[in-house]
Amino acid sequence: MYRYTKKYEWVLDPFCGSGTTLIEALHLGRNCIGIELSEEIAKKSMEVVQKIDNKFGVKAEIIVGDSVEMDFGEIAEKFGIDGFKLAILHPPYHDIINFTDDPRDLSNSPTIEVFLDKLEKVVEKTYRVLKSPGYMAMVIGDKYENSEWIPLGFYTMQRAMKIGFRLKSIVVKNFELGRTRGKRFQKELWRYRALVGGFYIFRHEYIFIFEKR
């Protein structure tokens, strides 16, 4: 965020979750809008965000809704934004974790293709509301299904490039199994799956940096 934006520029997070992007935006003096499907999660996240010292006097808003169907242009117009400088997307890694019971939730997508199609819609709408030049960072990992490694990260990368984004960088983020939310209490389960399935335990996720020109 510090590298790709200046103070008081706008940041968009279509998968707001716990509000990490908004919190960092407040610390750095960037305006930020997050979109969250779950009203309950959005409420809890906003309570945390409102406790942050807003020393720069910037805006931080969480909108409850489905990023797949919402009009990002209308959101920008509502807040008087002529374009976002940066978008940060951290979608579910398909169905590795089911975050809600809502069928609209990407983590409840019945197939990988449906998941990718829905995510592509979000990425395309993000592209439209970004300034040029503008940037999009996407955090995503792979999955393992039916004895096959699914390169989910690279599938999403290809979808973003098809829309028109230029790939600027790939950051491989290593983590210790058990420290991330998705695998915190599943360390032994993942060891067992790896042994049975004949694959290595996931210890990575990708951060793709894209540019709109």
For the chain, the structural domain boundaries read 10-176+204-212
Instruction: Say if CB 13 and CB 46 are below 8 A apart.
Output: no
Mean pLDDT in each 10-residue stretch from start to end of the chain (213 residues)? 96 96 97 97 96 96 97 97 97 88 93 97 98 97 85 96 97 68 56 68 87 95
Instruction: Say if CB 87 and CB 119 are below 8 A apart.
Output: no
Please tell me the predicted confidence (pLDDT) of residue 186: 56
Please tell me the predicted confidence (pLDDT) of residue 176: 62
> What is the C-alpha separation between 21 and 4, in angstroms, rounded?
14
CATH architecture of 10-176+204-212: 3-Layer(aba) Sandwich (3.40)
Please tell me the predicted confidence (pLDDT) of residue 197: 67
Instruction: Say if CB 41 and CB 116 are below 8 A apart.
Output: no
Q: Which of 132, 127, 142, 133 is nearest to 200 (CA)?
A: 142
Instruction: Say if CB 79 and CB 50 are below 8 A apart.
Output: no
Please tell me the predicted confidence (pLDDT) of residue 36: 97
Please tell me the predicted confidence (pLDDT) of residue 138: 98
Instruction: Say if CB 130 and CB 85 are below 8 A apart.
Output: yes
Please tell me the predicted confidence (pLDDT) of residue 144: 81
Please tell me the predicted confidence (pLDDT) of residue 149: 85
CA dist 38 to 50, 65, 163, 202, Å?
Answer: 18, 8, 27, 28
The one-letter amino acid at 63: I
The whole model's pTM is what? 0.89
